[in-house]
Amino acid sequence: MVHAVAQDTTAEHGQRHFTSKLVFNIIVICFGTTSFGFCNAVIGTSLGQPSFIKHMKLDVLPNATSLESAVLAIYFLGGLFGTACHTLTADRYGRKVSTSIACAVMIFGAALCTAAVNMGMYIAFRFFCGWASYQFLSTVPTWVAEITPPSHRGVLGNIIAVNIGVGYVLSAYIGIGFYFLTGNDDQWRGSTALQMLFPILLLSAMYWLPESPRYLIAKDRHEEALALLKSLHAGANHSTNFAEVEFYQIKQQVQSDVEHKMSFVDIFRKPTMRKRALISWCLPWCMLGSGVLVINNYGSAIYSKLGYDSFQVLLFLAGWDCVVMIAPFICMTFVDRVSRTYLLATGFFLCMCTLIVLAALQKTYLGTENHAALAACVAMTFLYVLAYVMFLDGPMFFYLGEIWPSHVRVQGFSIGTTANCVSNLVWTSAAPAAFASIGWGYYLFFVVQAFLGGVAALLFFPDTARKPLEEIAALFGDQDVVVFQQDLDRKGLGPESEKDNVDYQERVQPAEKA
């Protein structure tokens, strides 16, 4: 048997295959990642709030540093639980149910963190915030990847990163607003309570949001899936030809996937799946290992050591978060025009360079009165996060969604999110002791992680740009690709003419004989 992947049916000439309805739905779905961003950032803001420090007695307790580490550690432990919950629910009950569970857990955890009377209570219920955050981070990118057309998956998938940035910015500026609230020691409760806002909005809108068409087809809800694809992926002239092609392709692939259902053990036994698993672990491990959340969560301590007061520290944190929100918009202008491999490698190497300069500046000028050099340290943290978000943060989410076939996509995202949690747990938990003992030397660990990530991207990560999810399997050498252009032609679903398909060029893989 000869297996080949032929003509790309991704886009008709001069058209885009998504509607404003799809964009709106993705924005609302990504309220889940807004919640993730807000929840991630609020602890950094809280640790910079004098009211939080006073209420939790972090200014007098001898084990204050350990308590701060515990807040972060329990959050990422909760994240591991949320990842497992995503794995158990997303395929069985759907992306909407998994996201709804995350909304409910976040509301519960945030409410009780807001009501915390001591650090022990705050730490305990921060676990549930981590659970919900990482269930959002697992389910939302999976869901978005499965409802977006391949030709614009990078642009639309970057809405995930934009909404994370919105969460960070809102947390930072709300924290600044509550900083000026006087009269009691509960200013920190306001920003903590607002963690419930976006889960409530998302849960309220859930009934009207579209389920993943791949999930619907897997559950034999074919008519519903086809109608959904026609609604979301209609061309500018209201043509449904592309949606019909996509439906047929997904249906055929899902039928094959059902016959090849895999456990985690099976994934690591099969070479092509094992490669995906290693990429899914390596990418987020090296990204988070480059220190992004260490710099964010311990930004208050880092900027304070540089000689800035509490209000200036909060302003720096807010400015840093503004970069997190703006960078994805810049990324949208080129993300679908360049190789995914070069995109990710560029991000890693730019992060590495900024970290090297930051470490050198802190080694030389920390504790001095050289204000220009200390300001340069702050600037390096801003350049670092600009490179990180523009080239790595958004692309990571849709790249992990792209490389996995439908029947193991949920498990694949779980591997990536687990790596995310473990990497954060390792580097953020160690940060207080590391900064106290080796100071600037801790950045060298981040430099190494960024370098390894860049090398791995160049050598091992395939380029998935502008390829349908059902055809990416061929890049990994899978032999069970079931959708062929000749099948589409026989069904009368192929491109009507060469000019009707902007990418109507054969991508025939070397023939494989079974």
Q: Residues 470-474: what's their mean pLDDT?
A: 72
| Residue 154 CA from chain centroid, whole number | 13
**What pTM did the predictor assign?**
0.77
Q: Which residues contact 447 (CB under 8 A, 6 or more apart)?
A: 352, 355, 356, 359
Q: Whose CA is closest to 79, among 53, 49, 55, 109?
A: 109
What's the pLDDT at 316?
83
pLDDT reading at 8 higher than 60: no
| Residue 340 CA from chain centroid, whole number | 15
Rounded Cα gap, residues 377 and 228, in angstroms: 50
pLDDT reading at 514 higher than 80: no
Q: Residues 59-70: what's their mean pLDDT?
A: 84
**Cα-based torsion angle of the residue sequence 217, 221, 225, 227 in order, rounded to the nearest 10 degrees:** 160
Q: Residues 357-378: what's their mean pLDDT?
A: 86
pLDDT reading at 513 higher than 70: no
pLDDT for 380-408, tens place per residue? 999 999 999 999 988 887 888 788 887 78
pLDDT reading at 409 higher than 90: no
Q: Which residues contact 24 (CB under 8 A, 6 or more apart)?
A: none
Top-level class of domain 2-7+18-208+269-475: mainly alpha
Beta strands of 361-453 (E only): which ranges? none
Q: Residues 293-311: what's their mean pLDDT?
A: 76
What's the pLDDT at 501?
41
| pLDDT above 70: percentage of residues in the chain | 85
Any bridge partners for residue 8, and if so which?
none
pLDDT for 304-331, tens place per residue? 777 787 788 878 888 888 888 888 888 8
pLDDT for 138-148, tens place per residue? 899 889 988 88
What's the pLDDT at 481?
52
- Output 501 or 128, whichever has higher pLDDT: 128
Residue in the structure block whose two tokens are 């560029």: 346
Rounded Cα gap, residues 52 and 54, in angstroms: 5
User: So where are the chain's domains?
Assistant: 2-7+18-208+269-475
Rounded Cα gap, residues 484 and 252, in angstroms: 10
Rounded Cα gap, residues 223 and 39, in angstroms: 38
What's the pLDDT at 21?
84
What's the pLDDT at 2?
31
pLDDT reading at 37 higher than 60: yes
The SS3 of residue 408 is helix
- Output 506 or 491, whichever has higher pLDDT: 491
User: What sign does the dihedral 76-391-23-401 (CA atoms) show?
Assistant: negative
Q: Residue 371 CB: number of other CB atoms within 10 A?
A: 11
- CB–CB of 466/393 below 8 Å? no
Binning pLDDT at 50, 70 and 90, where does residue 231 land? confident
pLDDT for 410-436, tens place per residue? 888 889 989 988 998 888 888 888 888
CA distances to 144, 202, 205 from 209, rounded to whole Å, are 11, 9, 7
Contacts by 58-67 with C-beta closer than 8 Å and gap 24+?
Answer: 58/119, 61/119, 65/432, 65/433, 65/436, 66/432, 67/119, 67/123
CA distances to 49, 116, 142, 460, 479 from 276, rounded to whole Å, are 42, 42, 15, 10, 15
Burial of 361 (0-12, 13-18, 19+ CB in 10 A): buried
What's the pLDDT at 17?
61
What's the pLDDT at 491?
54
pLDDT reading at 264 higher than 90: no
- CB–CB of 302/308 below 8 Å? no
Q: What single string gives the DSSP state of each residue in 439-457?
A: GGGHHHHHHHHHHHHHHHH
pLDDT reading at 226 higher than 50: yes
Q: Which two tokens stand for residue 410?
A: 């949920």
